[in-house]
Structure 1
Amino acid sequence: MKNHRNNDLVDRRAAAAEAKATLVNVYRATMENLRPEQIARQSERLAAAAAREQRREEKEALKAAERARAEAAALALQAEIEAAKHAESEARALAEKDRIARVIEDEAARKAKRDQRYAARKARQS
């Protein structure tokens, strides 16, 4: 038996493999040439990402400071309200004690006048 080779097919396969190898070699060479550019672009991207992260952290710090300031202001306002309520209740209690004292004084004065009238009547009758 003779070895019949289809040279057309073998040639096409060899040409395709050679073209593929050439493309791979060209790609590798291009990648090697682009490598410094890629490194530069990558470093730019990393710098931009670091700057973004720093800006985000600064924003968060500002927001946290604003929240803390707002909470402090709210606490101060709450303390003022509590102090005002306490002062009002103290004033109300003082007014109530004063009113009670006046009522007791008026009652004592009324009783003193009554006792005086009673004593005057007894003095007239004797």
Structure 2
Amino acid sequence: MPPFSEPTFQERTQMAAKAKQAALKQLKAQPTVSDEVLAERKAARIAREEKKAKAREEKRAAFELVKAERKAAKEQAAVEKAAAEEAAAPPPPLTEAEKKAARDLRYANRKKRRK
């Protein structure tokens, strides 16, 4: 068996040229596509793109709806939290006039009971 010998530069370029010629020959052997087939492919591609665009718009609309619902729920929770904090807060201190009015009411009720 002869020993393996490295191919020279000329041999490598010749092999590359032969491979290129074979690839071109194979490419030229393929049948050409007719205009009708091209038109069908184009129509199918356009229909596919329209379908994707419609699905994308529906998805975007659904997302916007969910986003609006979340925002409304968040606002409602904030209102409820503020109401709960307001209800849990101690009442503001009475003014002198309110204290006097409460005293006068107690005094009037006491007088009524005595009569």
TM-aligned CA deviation for residue 76 of structure 1: 0.9
- The two structures have a TM-score, normalised by structure 2, of 0.52
For residues 22 and 28 of structure 1, what CA distance do their matches in structure 2 show? 19
TM-aligned CA deviation for residue 31 of structure 1: 4.6
Provide the secondary structure at the position in 1 that maps to 2:83. helix
Matches within 5 A, 1:42-53: 42-53=49-60
TM-aligned CA deviation for residue 79 of structure 1: 1.0
Letter in 2 for 1:26: V
> What does residue 44 of structure 2 align with?
37
Aligned-residue Cα RMSD (Å) equals 3.2
For residues 54 and 66 of structure 1, what CA distance do their matches in structure 2 show? 18
For residues 62 and 45 of structure 1, what CA distance do their matches in structure 2 show? 26
Q: When you count helix as a share of all residues, which structure comes out higher?
A: 1
**Would the alpha carbon gap of residues 18 and 29 (structure 1) be closer, same or farther in structure 2, given more than 3 Å must change?**
farther
| Selected match of 1:86 from 91, 94, 98 | 91
Letter in 2 for 1:49: R
Letter in 2 for 1:46: A
> What does residue 61 of structure 1 align with?
68
- The two structures have a TM-score, normalised by structure 1, of 0.48
Any runs of at least 4 consecutive aligned residues in structure 1 with deviations exceeding 4 A, and if so which?
Answer: 27-32
CA radius of gyration, larger in: 1
List per-residue Cα deviations over 1:92-126 (Å, max 9, x = no partner). xx7xxx9xxxxxxxxxxxxxxxxxxxxxxxxxxxx
Aligned residues: 77
TM-aligned CA deviation for residue 38 of structure 1: 0.8
List runs of 5+ in structure 1 lacking aligned partners.
1-9, 99-126
| Selected match of 1:26 from 25, 28, 33 | 33
Letter in 1 for 2:85: Q
List runs of 5+ in structure 2 lacking aligned partners.
1-17, 104-115
How many percent of aligned residue pairs carry the same amino acid?
16
> What does residue 108 of structure 1 align with?
none
